[in-house]
Structure 1
Amino acid sequence: MTTLLGYHNGNQVRVLLKRYLRWVIVAAAIAFLLHTLAGHWAEVTAIRLRPQGVALLALATGVSLLAHGWAGWVWSWILQALQQPVAGVWSMPVYLKTNLLKYLPGNVWHFYGRVRALKDLGIARGAAIVGVVLEPLLMANAALMLGLASPTPYWPGQILVLALALGAVHPRWLNPIMNRLGQAKVGADDSEPLPEAALHHYPLKPLLGEMGFVLLKGLGFALVISAIGPLPRELLLPVVSLFSLAWLAGLVIPGAPGGLGVFEAIAVTLLQDLLTVGVVLSAVALYRLVGTLAEAMGAGLAVLSQRLAPPPSAT
């Protein structure tokens, strides 16, 4: 009994620590942004949209919407690499509908919604879990690859992390992990074992697809900057590259729903040597608005399309 109580109390402590860590990370990011904003307040308030700024923001919204739709299609490639017959016409609306759930506390509800949708389709829960978890891993690899296009002081570390990340999704290393999971149960009350590994080759096609997603996100951000002030052509690639690293930080750092606060803080840190701090602060604020609007539009269009037409089959 004492052992069980100790285990229970230990779990409670870990849950509390994780919960407080989330708020500490978000609070630290917001505090950094507020401090930077206070130091450059006059510069930020002096910034105005260019004459074509509204059109560029609308274009940035469209590109961001295209990025999320493309990510939903690439998700079907990931599932197909795991031997699951799921077509893009099914995966894209499901992906778009669940995307907004990432802003809920915990930052996991979009994953839960996708696993549940795959189960409703008849996909085994284990395969569904692996198919959902593999997607952000490939996105992280894609962002790391694009991040190398603009050297930073952390370039050697970036190369090392990228090499490890690329190796982590190789079937030689990923399959044994999935096989070990296959010996376990999904839950205490679930008798369904996770399936054996299904990756028969390196997921190169989904990885390239995720690079397209991150690239489109970066182009959307560049368009937001262009709405504020001219963006020289020679700065386009560095901006997209450094954006990829900032977006990656928002993806992998725990506790920030949708990367809120973390992405903005890292973007300001990385881009302040290329652009004025006032422009970067204004751009990250506008981009958050543009990105959220695009995600909301994507979810609305997905719901509308499924109401107007019967849901497509998986294959």
Structure 2
Amino acid sequence: MLTRLRHNVWIRLLLLVLVCACTGLALHTNWTQAREAVTDLPLWVPPTAVLAGMAGLAAQMLAWRSLLSGLGSPLPRAAAARVMFVGQLGKYLPGSVWAFVAQVELARDWNVPRSRGATATLVAIAVTVSVSLAVAAVALPLSSVEAARRWWWALAAAPVLLACLHPRILGLGLRVAARPFARFREVAEAGPLRIGGGAVAASVGWTLVAWIPLGLHVWLLTWAVGGDALRSLGPAVGAYALAWTLGLLVVFAPAGLGVREVVLVVALAPVVDAGAALVVAVLSRLVMTVADVGWAGLSLALSRAPAAPEPERA
């Protein structure tokens, strides 16, 4: 099945059309919901928020690229951007697993073994979840007591998950996870899955950097709908970090649809009323959808297509 996916142009074209249709539908739906709110914002706010969102996504791409390099399959920045940002459009299909599959298969076009591509993506998710919960655990208790009380269990998991990113624990987890697949030829040819502490540290660092612009775009939207500039900072950053994480974990919701909105409304309650918080949630979803589409388009335009894939061995 995966071999056919790589070599059959028609299957890929059909999947591309399906992904584009779902992404276009998401963009249209988000625009319809947010259109009136957008027209009430200062003209410079929407494009600034989109640029901030794109900056955060770029840092997340570099975090994933660091892990892939640590596993022994470094990619040029342009190629890594093409793989990640085009693959991430799969999250607009029902079930976030499609983004994972697309990313692994697109990386395979650049001769990245599936075992390494899958491992880098799974570890990147673990890093994102751990760091994002840590950011929320620091920001929310000081600014949104209700959100911290409601989702205390998620915030309490942050130090445990961060500890699991230690190279020894992570290495043990990789070896255990890879054991059932050791008999597959491609896994055996790729060699043992080892990732150094430097690569993990770089990924954690880039993920932390990502939360500066990602939090900034929510803070900017919160301020634009009437929130106090200073008091909105903590709730905006913490709320979006938690909303992003819980939306990522609810795999049956396309791009975390519905989950992010609930978290943002509760967490922003100390600085804006429920109606304004819902507006921020809707605007944020539109902004990040535009950022996803923008990066996918730019990565296709600014990078070369990979060479013809190597033939699969029997």
Q: Which bin holds the TM-score, normalised by the shorter protein?
A: 0.7 to 0.9
> Which residue pairs with 1:217 in the alignment?
214
Distance 1:157 1:181, change over 3 A: closer
Residues 70 and 92 in structure 1, CA contact (< 8 A), matched pair in contact too:
no
> Which residue pairs with 2:171 in the alignment?
175
Aligned-partner Cα distance in 2 for 1:114–1:127: 11
Q: What is the letter of the counterpart of residue 129 of structure 2? A: A
> Which residue pairs with 1:298 in the alignment?
295
- Could you tell me how far 1:73 is from its partner in structure 2? 2.3
Distance 1:48 1:288, change over 3 A: closer
Q: TM-score, normalised by structure 2?
A: 0.76
> Which residue pairs with 2:101 in the alignment?
112
Secondary structure of 1:184's partner?
Answer: helix
> Which residue pairs with 2:129 in the alignment?
140
Residues 185 and 192 in structure 1, CA contact (< 8 A), matched pair in contact too:
no
Aligned-partner Cα distance in 2 for 1:107–1:261: 14
Aligned-partner Cα distance in 2 for 1:136–1:155: 20
Q: What is the letter of the counterpart of residue 140 of structure 2? A: S
Residues 83 and 107 in structure 2, CA contact (< 8 A), matched pair in contact too:
no
Distance 1:292 1:162, change over 3 A: same
> Which residue pairs with 2:59 in the alignment?
70
- Could you tell me how far 1:242 is from its partner in structure 2? 2.0
Is residue 2:49 matched to residue 1:60? yes
Is residue 2:185 matched to residue 1:191? yes
Residues 140 and 267 in structure 2, CA contact (< 8 A), matched pair in contact too:
no
Aligned-partner Cα distance in 2 for 1:223–1:185: 46
> Which residue pairs with 2:268 in the alignment?
271
Q: What is the letter of the counterpart of residue 56 of structure 2? A: A
Residues 115 and 128 in structure 1, CA contact (< 8 A), matched pair in contact too:
yes
Secondary structure of 1:229's partner?
Answer: coil
Q: Describe the superposition over 1:225-279 as per-residue Cα deviations: whole angstroms up to 9, x where unpaired.
A: 2332253213212321122112211111231110011110121122223321111
Residues 139 and 238 in structure 2, CA contact (< 8 A), matched pair in contact too:
yes
- Could you tell me how far 1:156 is from its partner in structure 2? 6.4
Q: TM-score, normalised by structure 1?
A: 0.75
Distance 1:48 1:139, change over 3 A: closer
- Could you tell me how far 1:50 is from its partner in structure 2? 8.5
Q: Describe the superposition over 1:273-297 as per-residue Cα deviations: whole angstroms up to 9, x where unpaired.
A: 3321111011111111111111111
Residues 54 and 227 in structure 1, CA contact (< 8 A), matched pair in contact too:
no
Aligned-partner Cα distance in 1 for 2:228–2:195: 42
Is residue 2:110 matched to residue 1:124? no
Residue among 229, 234, 257 paired with 2:231: 234
Secondary structure of 1:53's partner?
Answer: coil
- Unpaired runs of 5+ residues, structure 1, are 1-44
> Which residue pairs with 1:149 in the alignment?
139
Distance 1:98 1:168, change over 3 A: same
Report % sequence identity: 24
| Deviating more after overlay: 284-293 vs 174-183 | 174-183
- Count of residues in correspondence between the two structures: 264
Secondary structure of 1:222's partner?
Answer: helix
Q: RMSD of the TM alignment (CA)?
A: 2.7
> Which residue pairs with 2:196 in the alignment?
200
